[in-house]
Amino acid sequence: MSFFFLAFSAAWKAACSATTQNPTVVVPSSRNFLVYPLIFYGPCKSSQISFQLIGTISSPSSPSVWWGRDRSKWLTFNGVTGLLITGTGTIDGQGSGWWGQSCRDHPNLALSLISCKQSTISGIYFVNSAQEHLVIYLSNNILIKNLHITAPENSPNSDGIHIEASQNVLVNNSVIATGDDCVSIGDMTSNINVSFVNCGPGHGVSIGSLGKNGNSVKVENIHVKRVNFKGSTNGARIKTWQVGLGYVRKISFEHITLQSVQNPIYIDQNYCDIKGARGNCGQKSTGVHISEVTYNDIVGTSSTYVAINLNCSQSVACTGITLSSIQIRSDKSGQQVISKCTNAHGTNSGVVQPKSCLQS
């Protein structure tokens, strides 16, 4: 096992210090590589470096193997510019051993890009992570495309892609079916686009949760379009804690289809997850300001009665919400769906079904 650790590290070091154009590390199809936590550091000498995954990389499947090791990461690229991760290989988190255990004990069995720039990840299959499958953190100019990410619907915290403290990230043409968010967007993010994604089962595309520690949130220019939600617990969701400050603005969800989605359009500005709350729940005079949010061309079925739920703060209302060309009906014949608004202000255009409840 440590042989593979050394082999990968040595191959990366050689490629990263090569002065040739596009040095490449190849993970061949010949076998399943079992690896312990690995960090591939940049910067590299060449302006582009490739990591070609053809075979399978698996993490140790037994939680006990991780005792005494850093559980926060598994495969990490740190500080690399011009990284190209390609191939049709698989990254297997072997997370099932953790799914029955407390979340705190889970290693973050993910592929992480930390402080990377001008990089692409394409074509890879991800399965069964104990936590997020792909994390983009402190990075800029990242293209993520043609990925397949799957984990069982009941696997806790198995987000597909988590993006945080990053700018200019495009997630395109991917299939994500997991037990948590298909894509989750964290704090300090801007210019993030998510398009041509099939999402579900899972918790939808979520911005948040944000502001949990009373921090000043900065999230803007997030555009989600041509996403198909199927059997997910949410569609387009924004969730913030009342104790938070700052803003979430210039957001759009467009050309979305829904098939039996529980909360197709959902803003929860009163988000509270009792387990991690530390007294941060309940009515507060603070709030993260949510503004300039457009929902356009959203069509399909809801599996619950409240298809549109804009539950905004009493202290810091949502403003500049636009509902345009919305046609959501129940997935059960003969049943109605409704919209519910609390402190949600904005305008409607075109057909809005169920009838809008926005205040001007």
Choice from 218, 230, 340, 345 touching ligand NAG (CB under 6 A) = 340
Q: Are 268 and 248 in contact (CB under 8 A)?
A: no
How far, CA to CA in Å, does 286 sit from each of 240, 292, 330? 11, 19, 35
C-alpha to C-alpha distance for 150 and 5, rounded to whole angstroms: 25
Q: Which is nearer to ligand NAG, 39 or 272 (CB)?
A: 272
Region 219-238 residues binding ligand NAG, contact defined as CB under 6 A = 223
218 near ligand NAG (CB under 6 A) = no
38 near ligand NAG (CB under 6 A) = no
| Minimum separation from the CB atom of position 235 to ligand NAG (A) | 15
Choice from 280, 309, 313, 348 touching ligand NAG (CB under 6 A) = 309
C-alpha to C-alpha distance for 13 and 219, rounded to whole angstroms: 36
Largest CA distance in the chain: 67
Answer yes or no: 297 catalytic: no
Answer yes or no: 203 catalytic: yes
C-alpha to C-alpha distance for 59 and 127, rounded to whole angstroms: 11
**Binding track, positions 166-185, relative to ligand NAG; x by CB under 6 A:** ----x-xx------------
Residue of 106, 159, 162, 180 marked active site: 180
What is the size of the binding site for ligand NAG (CB under 6 A)?
13
Choice from 193, 198, 322, 325 touching ligand NAG (CB under 6 A) = 193
How far, CA to CA in Å, does 247 sit from each of 162, 210, 326? 19, 10, 25
C-alpha to C-alpha distance for 317 and 337, rounded to whole angstroms: 24
Q: Which is nearer to ligand NAG, 61 or 314 (CB)?
A: 314
DSSP state of 44: -
- Residues ≥6 apart with Cβ < 8 Å to 196: 172, 173, 174, 226, 227
| Minimum separation from the CB atom of position 106 to ligand NAG (A) | 27
145 near ligand NAG (CB under 6 A) = yes
Q: Provide the annotated active-site residues.
A: 180, 203
Contact residues toward ligand NAG (CB under 6 A) are 145, 170, 172-173, 193, 195-196, 223, 270, 309, 311, 340, 342
